[in-house]
Amino acid sequence: MSAPQPPKPACLIVGMFMKDQSLFEGAVNQLILSFGPVEMVSRWFDFDYTSYYEKEMGTPLFRRMVSFKKAIDPATLPEIKQTTNTIEKQFGDQDRRQINIDPGYIVPERFVLATGKNFTHRIYLNKGIYADLTLIYQKGKFQDLPWTYPDYAAENVKSFLTTVRMHYLASMME
């Protein structure tokens, strides 16, 4: 019989994409108010993997990611997603998003994103939010899965996540 154990604290990661890069600073400031200081910020990544968001947000789109210093309980992911949805609405223009904010977390074994959309590989958490197992860490690197979003499967994004993972593991040793 397995004995239940509390989960390891996780490193909060927030990915954002937008057309207007000037929205990034304001969104990060709102995230800091909710989740505390930022640990790392990625460079800008092109977001040209899908046309799904073009009608709503325009084109071209750009992605940027941030990690946070304070570890989180993975069980709080639904509340975190609700907070980021609220921030998205603050930056919206009528019924259109100007920025997409996707929270997730890193633990040693995996990278998980929060989503409000159900699918075969997603596990329901709470409050209408599902966990999307996006990447697994095996053989010394992040590995994508058949359902991994193409932008998260990109080597430049996985490289940033690997650096965040190293910082997270070092902070867990302190």
CATH class of the structural domain 11-173: alpha beta
Strands 129-138 and 99-107, sheet pairing? unpaired
Give pLDDT tens digits for 17-29.
Answer: 999 999 999 999 9
What is the model's pLDDT at position 48?
78
Spell out the SS3 assignment of the chain.
CCCCCCCCCEEEEEEEEECCCCHHHHHHHHHHHHHCCEEEECCCEEECCCCCCHHHHCCCEEEEEEEEEEEECHHHHHHHHHHHHHHHHHCCECCECCEEEEEEEEECCEEEEEECCCCCCEEEEECCEEEEEEEEEECCEEEECCCCCHHHHCHHHHHHHHHHHHHHHHHHHC
**Mean pLDDT, residues 5-16 taken together:** 95
Q: Are 75 and 129 in contact (CB under 8 A)?
A: no
The answer on pLDDT for 174 being more than 80 is no
pLDDT at 93: 85
Amino acid code (one letter) for 139: K
- pTM value > 0.85: yes
The domain limits of the chain are 11-173
List pLDDT tens digits, range 12-68.
Answer: 999 999 999 999 999 999 999 999 999 999 999 888 778 888 888 888 999 999 999
Cα→Cα distances 154→9, 99, 139, 150, Å: 26, 20, 17, 6
Which residues make beta-bridge pairs with 135? 111, 144
What is the per-residue pLDDT for 65? 97
Distance (Å, whole) CA 21 – CA 11 = 25
